[in-house]
Structure 1
Amino acid sequence: MADPTTYRPAPGAIPTDPGVYKFRDEHRRVIYVGKAKNLRSRLNSYFQDVTALHPRTRQMVFTAASVEWTVVASEVEALQLEYTWIKRFDPRFNVKYRDDKTYPMLAVSTGETIPRAFFYRGPRRKGVRYFGPYSHAWAVRETLDLLIRVFPMRTCSKGVYHRHERLGRPCLLGYIDKCAAPCVGRVSADEHREIVDGFTSFLAGNTNKVVRELTGEMEQAAENLEFERAARLRDDLGAINKVMEQQAVVLGDGTDADVIAFATDELEAAVQIFHVRGGRIRGQRGWVVEKAGDQAASGPVADGQPDPALPALMQNFLVQFYGDAVERAQLEDAEDAELNARVEHIERRGVDQLSHTEPRAVQAVPREILVQVLPEEAGQVREVLGELRGAQVDLRVPQRGDKRALAETVERNAKDALRQHKLKRVGDLTARSAALQDIQEALGLDEAPLRIECTDISHIQGTDVVASLVVFEDGLPRKSDYRRYRIREAAGEGRSDDVGSIAEVTRRRFLRHNQDKRAVPEAEEFDGSTFADEQVEEMSTDNRRFAYPPNLYIVDGGAPQVAAAQKVFDELGVVDVHLVGLAKRLEELWLPGEEDPVILPRNSQGLYLLQQIRDEAHRFAITYHRQQRSKRMRVSELDGIPGLGATRRTELVKHFGSVKKLKEATVEEITAVKGFGPKLAQSVFDGLHPEKTGE
């Protein structure tokens, strides 16, 4: 592993022009490709203090042995060259948007003399036309089953086709009119090709013509008293309508757009893209990738705030995804042109059904691309996309209406995909065992931490300070042991002090440490919907205690928070619990008394488990914080009334149901509340009706 200082370019040697750079390892393999408006500024950022770099970036600069760059004339050329080099060198540290699964497709083997339609997964092959992707395999099979009622084309394999060709009788589908039976000569190759052309044309979106023809034939058959034929056409029309209904109309007629959104955390990003053609969602695709290099966030993302890495991620995705899409489309157009040259009797049929109203390379980039956030260099990206399409592309963030609603739906899908991706790693016993073993080895524990507890602090500028304590056993949450705390010291001082809050929570958790080890708690499931203090708050009035201490106790934070918790451990004589701090910025593990943190590999199962535990503690804390804040705001009109403390405010609101009804009460009605005399009742009344007292 090389030291970055050994290959750092000399000061002033790097130009300040826009360009593209490559990091190479000791074997001269390209491991990372990036672009920059100012090469000197960007490359110098890689050779700063390595502890300030993102973990993935830090790993890259230590793996590299040299760096080189190429100056270009414009930022657009830099975008294009970056994409070209990523395709050519396939660098290991670049973000690559490969499908998180193989999507099912409906394929038509147009290159065969007697084409067939079939379900397909995998890479695209020459001489086959693909439709989709579909979200589920059953959707492909259902679509195919419905359409062969109207377009009875071949769906059998070569073996089945040749067997029935030798037997001289069709298969079952031929007998029930779901196949035109070209194997026994019921239709000729040209007639079957016309059926295939209609099938592919319908799937390509030309549905109105088929519906009109079927409707006209059905009405004509009914007029001619051919009721059986009319009923069959009616059923065919119903099948066509069902296929069309599977693609719900989400935007206005004629709208062609792709809608793209990301969901991110400190380490990974999930992207979802919905393909809308003719106003209908024709496909959905998704990826989960590791954030790296220029796409890595420089720090933690505050709650409710966008990830500062989103513009870089969006730019990288747009150029890479549509560049690949156009490249594939150009290959397919070339294959179709080669195939058309071999097809006989094209002139007799009068229409070349394998061509399109516009090349696939144009169809691959829609007229409109709706994004969650504009890329870093939106103007240059628009220019690149326009060159790929051969026409102007509208790249924008939707602000209102149906398009905004659809964009929010895509963003929700991205968040769910990221959540499912993270949960999948701890969803089975093998993954959980590997995660616990990773943590054991990284922290040097004698045994795997089967019980892990984690605490987190939540507040807004020192108000309503609360903490959470979540418990995981065998890598799974044990909600019956969750706890929450109202912080007393920090709240009393009216300031935010995360270090002091961590110390208080730790002291309250381990104050009864020795007694808890000998007690057996009453198991009561906590489902997140009940917030009674006696059920979930530590040091409450009930007898529920922890049965045993954790093997590992995690505090949210770095060295200061760990030092505060360790001080409490020393005071209370806790020596059988391992303590660690999880810093959110770089996912570092801080041990008591250690100057340097422990950094787990990014693909470590242990890191993913620790992230999940930390995120659960954060969720639990912020939920309680919001509840406390709402409770305080509900009674805020009672603040400042002389003689009215927190307990009596609560009694008033509980008695009348709301502050609004309390304001409608008379002095006599307030006096009826337990603990309120005439003087205090009058004070409350005057405080709620200052206009009547002349204040």
Structure 2
Amino acid sequence: MADPTTYRPAPGTIPTEPGVYKFRDAHGRVIYVGKAKNLRSRLTSYFADLAGLHPRTRQMVTTAAAVEWTVVGTEVEALQLEYNWIKEFDPRFNVRYRDDKSYPVLAVTLNEEYPRLFVYRGPRRRGVRYFGPYSHAWAIRETVDLLTRVFPARTCSTGVFKRHRQIDRPCLLGYIDKCAAPCVGRVTAEQHREIVDDFCDFLAGRTDQMIRRLEREMASAAEELDFERAARLRDDVGAMRRAMEKQAVVLGDGTDADVVGMVGDELEVSVQVFHVRGGRVRGQRGWVVERSDDDSVGEQVSQFVTQFYGAQVDLDASVEIGDDRARGDSVPRELLVPDLPDDHAELQQWLSDLRGSRVAIRVPQRGDKKALFDTVTRNASEALAQHKLRRAGDLTTRSAALTELQEGLGLDQAPLRIECIDISHVQGTDVVASLVVFEDGLPRKSDYRHYSIRQAAGDGRSDDVASIAEVTRRRFLRHRQDQEITTESAIDPDTGRTRKFAYPPNLFVVDGGAPQVHAAASVLDELGVTDVSVVGLAKRLEEVWIPGDDEPVILPRTSEALFLLQRVRDEAHRFAITFHRSKRSKRMTESVLDGVPGLGRTRRTALVTHFGSVARLREATLDDISGVPGIGMATARAVAAALADDASPERSDAAPTEPERTDAQQIPVPTQAPSGGEDR
């Protein structure tokens, strides 16, 4: 535990102007970002008596090792800089209002030539516009089913779209006029995008004008005695009205507003937002976040508004750059909050700049807006109660597991950062390793790494012990190199970002027994790393091996510590197997195409990328192969001939298929890999 007085700035050196400040830990990581009207007054409060600080603030200042600040001209600039730094550094002690990924939304892929509509859960992507969130996926499907008869936009996946384009025949939705069938050329890309734009305008609240236009067209068709078209337009109007009825009218004056409700206790805060557009509730979102300090409700409102609307405008700008309609969907004309923050005037100015027109922040006092605000607040209270019931056991379990690991393994402190490595190969070929990272008992997938093993065993088989030693050496050499680049911190001088591996784990786990543990420990001794504990988890009896001990540590089968170690080990195993399969598949695919006349590395890569697998490449026609950029008809014939020879039953030089394995017995694992980097 650090003493805040060791890095407290000298009296009088802190300016009194507005600005943004950062606390860094001993490894240079940014752990907290804040803003202040008066930097001196704000920072001085952190170095008061520790006993008087909020528990989370006390933990932050004792974890930090340095504080720095940046002076800005206005408080609006401080708001923007604080938001940018929180987004860039993801500080551990800042409250982050991340979207609740459990709610389904209706996604429209405006970044594709032929945009499609589909139900989506997960993080926001660039170039995709979202509507919702909805409480249930079936509510989205009902809405889409009603509206596709009016706006026949594409709803099929990319694979289905390509398949029907190849066979030149539409799917069922195309036959029943619920899709404009751009796959077979019934409409052009421009006409299909107009349909999608009208669909987005309808969901964004611009409904009355569309309905009036359809009613005029219906009356005109009836006057011209075109009763079939008039009936079709009548049904379209009915479908649009039924879709509108599914959205509750809460404010009769066509108000565009976001209503924010907050309910909290000493530890956590529940936030609920109702998005009202055109007087109707268009969506609802909710968060439950840890309380970072003894902040007032107004200060919590300021934190939420800065992060939430800054992130939403960033996303919308990537969808429709320069289109005020997208910004208007994210930043409303009015924001109803439980309490006005001290900097509400600066917040209003910042939001107005984002929207491009005036935005008002108010506390509702009476009438329909007050009634709706009370409803949102009740929702926040219910969400907090449900979160307490659902998450209490998980938080307690993780804390218990880390404490049990510290006590059971005799560690100096709880292992807040755990790294685990695993080896995967098939009879010594395509040897790879994985490194996974858990922080605070949860996986940190952005820090995952792949390794291709460079050493080779003399007998053609992989030496798992040597592989573990190699991976350990490469991992901690990287750590030492990053530390030597800048001796004062672990910050990359070129990017200003924290080097992810410039700080060591508390616990380093290897998948294996005593030999594997001894190999990793020997490397750490060789490199002079003394602040990392090493253990091994053997699969046979789930024994925990510690370097230098003749007998393993046996953790109880019901131990939360053992369960956490198993989760870490199994995640490393899954990640290694997935990388091994992809590498082996790529090698086998490229080996079949080796030696084909006129097919170099660049063209071979283009073929593999285009078709995805040898099986699909075998099924392709000469026209399909020659359609790949850079592949002519002569090369396509050579490729087809090589694939025909490789598939011939007379070939007997193919290697027998062996099951994948790691350094112990194979266990069933899922096949999907998270997004992790590769360190070669």
Residue number among 328, 333, 337 corresponding to 2:320 in the alignment: 333
**1:246 Cα deviation from its structure 2 partner:** 1.7
Q: Does 1:320 align with 2:286?
A: no
Residue number among 345, 364, 376 corresponding to 1:379 in the alignment: 345
Question: Rg: which structure is higher?
Answer: 1
Asked if 2 retains the 8 angstrom alpha-carbon contact of 1:258 and 1:370, the reply is: yes
Structure 1 CA distance for aligned equivalents of residues 246 and 372 of structure 2: 17
**1:60 Cα deviation from its structure 2 partner:** 0.5
**1:221 Cα deviation from its structure 2 partner:** 5.5
Equivalent position amino acid for 1:319 in 2: T
Equivalent position amino acid for 1:332 in 2: V
Change (3 A) 1:89 1:442: closer
For the residue of structure 2 that corresponds to 1:24, the secondary structure is strand
Change (3 A) 1:224 1:314: same
Structure 1 CA distance for aligned equivalents of residues 371 and 296 of structure 2: 23
Within 5 A, what are the aligned runs for 1:231-310?
231-292=231-292, 296-297=293-294, 309-310=296-297
Structure 2 CA distance for aligned equivalents of residues 407 and 221 of structure 1: 45
For the residue of structure 2 that corresponds to 1:386, the secondary structure is helix
Change (3 A) 1:365 1:217: closer
Asked if 1 retains the 8 angstrom alpha-carbon contact of 2:339 and 2:363, the reply is: yes
- Give structure 1 stretches of 5+ with no counterpart: 298-307, 338-355, 445-604, 606-695
Asked if 1 retains the 8 angstrom alpha-carbon contact of 2:33 and 2:91, the reply is: yes
TM-superposition CA deviations, 1:168-191 (whole Å, max 9, x none):
432221222212333334444444
Structure 2 CA distance for aligned equivalents of residues 89 and 432 of structure 1: 28
Equivalent position amino acid for 2:130 in 1: Y
TM-superposition CA deviations, 1:213-240 (whole Å, max 9, x none):
4334445566677666555444332221
Structure 1 CA distance for aligned equivalents of residues 240 and 383 of structure 2: 32
**1:363 Cα deviation from its structure 2 partner:** 4.6
**1:264 Cα deviation from its structure 2 partner:** 0.5
Structure 1 CA distance for aligned equivalents of residues 255 and 186 of structure 2: 41
Change (3 A) 1:211 1:359: closer
Match of 2:479 in 1: none
Asked if 2 retains the 8 angstrom alpha-carbon contact of 1:149 and 1:177, the reply is: yes
Equivalent position amino acid for 2:119 in 1: F
Q: Does 1:415 align with 2:401?
A: no
Change (3 A) 1:149 1:270: same
TM-superposition CA deviations, 1:410-448 (whole Å, max 9, x none):
111111111111111257xx778778889999999xxxx
Change (3 A) 1:230 1:103: same
**1:165 Cα deviation from its structure 2 partner:** 3.0
Match of 2:88 in 1: 88
Structure 2 CA distance for aligned equivalents of residues 175 and 370 of structure 1: 47
Match of 2:336 in 1: 370
Equivalent position amino acid for 1:424 in 2: R
Residue number among 360, 368, 386 corresponding to 2:326 in the alignment: 360
Change (3 A) 1:261 1:443: farther
Equivalent position amino acid for 1:330 in 2: A
Structure 1 CA distance for aligned equivalents of residues 63 and 398 of structure 2: 26
Structure 2 CA distance for aligned equivalents of residues 229 and 73 of structure 1: 62
Structure 1 CA distance for aligned equivalents of residues 108 and 265 of structure 2: 40
Change (3 A) 1:234 1:2: same
For the residue of structure 2 that corresponds to 1:149, the secondary structure is coil
Structure 1 CA distance for aligned equivalents of residues 391 and 37 of structure 2: 38
TM-superposition CA deviations, 1:46-77 (whole Å, max 9, x none):
22222222111111111101122233344333
Structure 2 CA distance for aligned equivalents of residues 101 and 223 of structure 1: 50
Within 5 A, what are the aligned runs for 1:39-50?
39-50=39-50
For the residue of structure 2 that corresponds to 1:161, the secondary structure is helix
Q: Does 1:180 align with 2:146?
A: no
Structure 2 CA distance for aligned equivalents of residues 153 and 369 of structure 1: 33
**1:242 Cα deviation from its structure 2 partner:** 1.3
**1:125 Cα deviation from its structure 2 partner:** 3.5
TM-superposition CA deviations, 1:12-59 (whole Å, max 9, x none):
443344332221111111111122233333222222222222111111
TM-superposition CA deviations, 1:638-657 (whole Å, max 9, x none):
xxxxxxxxxxxxxxxxxxxx
Match of 2:138 in 1: 138
Equivalent position amino acid for 1:82 in 2: E
Asked if 2 retains the 8 angstrom alpha-carbon contact of 1:326 and 1:362, the reply is: no
Equivalent position amino acid for 1:2 in 2: A
Match of 2:540 in 1: none
For the residue of structure 2 that corresponds to 1:258, the secondary structure is strand
Structure 2 CA distance for aligned equivalents of residues 442 and 54 of structure 1: 26
Q: Does 1:69 align with 2:69?
A: yes
Asked if 2 retains the 8 angstrom alpha-carbon contact of 1:362 and 1:388, the reply is: no
For the residue of structure 2 that corresponds to 1:169, the secondary structure is coil
Change (3 A) 1:223 1:422: same
Change (3 A) 1:187 1:405: same
For the residue of structure 2 that corresponds to 1:318, the secondary structure is helix
Match of 1:198 in 2: 198
**1:247 Cα deviation from its structure 2 partner:** 1.7
**1:8 Cα deviation from its structure 2 partner:** 2.1
Match of 2:360 in 1: 394
**1:313 Cα deviation from its structure 2 partner:** 0.5
For the residue of structure 1 that corresponds to 2:33, the secondary structure is strand
Structure 1 CA distance for aligned equivalents of residues 397 and 89 of structure 2: 36
For the residue of structure 2 that corresponds to 1:289, the secondary structure is strand
Match of 1:675 in 2: none
Match of 2:634 in 1: none
RMSD, aligned CA: 3.2
Give the fraction of aligned pairs with identical amino acids, expressed as a percent: 64
Higher mean C-alpha displacement, 211-220 vs 308-317: 211-220
Structure 2 CA distance for aligned equivalents of residues 42 and 382 of structure 1: 23
**1:290 Cα deviation from its structure 2 partner:** 0.7
**1:286 Cα deviation from its structure 2 partner:** 1.4
Change (3 A) 1:4 1:214: same
Match of 1:550 in 2: none
> TM-score, normalised on structure 2?
0.55
Match of 1:449 in 2: none
- Give structure 2 stretches of 5+ with no counterpart: 409-559, 561-680
Within 5 A, what are the aligned runs for 1:667-682?
none
Asked if 2 retains the 8 angstrom alpha-carbon contact of 1:21 and 1:35, the reply is: yes
For the residue of structure 1 that corresponds to 2:348, the secondary structure is helix
Equivalent position amino acid for 1:328 in 2: L
Structure 1 CA distance for aligned equivalents of residues 197 and 346 of structure 2: 40
Equivalent position amino acid for 2:46 in 1: Y
Match of 1:112 in 2: 112
Equivalent position amino acid for 2:319 in 1: E
Number of aligned pairs? 410
Structure 1 CA distance for aligned equivalents of residues 86 and 131 of structure 2: 28
**1:362 Cα deviation from its structure 2 partner:** 5.0
Equivalent position amino acid for 2:198 in 1: G
Structure 1 CA distance for aligned equivalents of residues 304 and 166 of structure 2: 52
**1:105 Cα deviation from its structure 2 partner:** 2.5
For the residue of structure 1 that corresponds to 2:286, the secondary structure is strand
Structure 2 CA distance for aligned equivalents of residues 327 and 28 of structure 1: 28
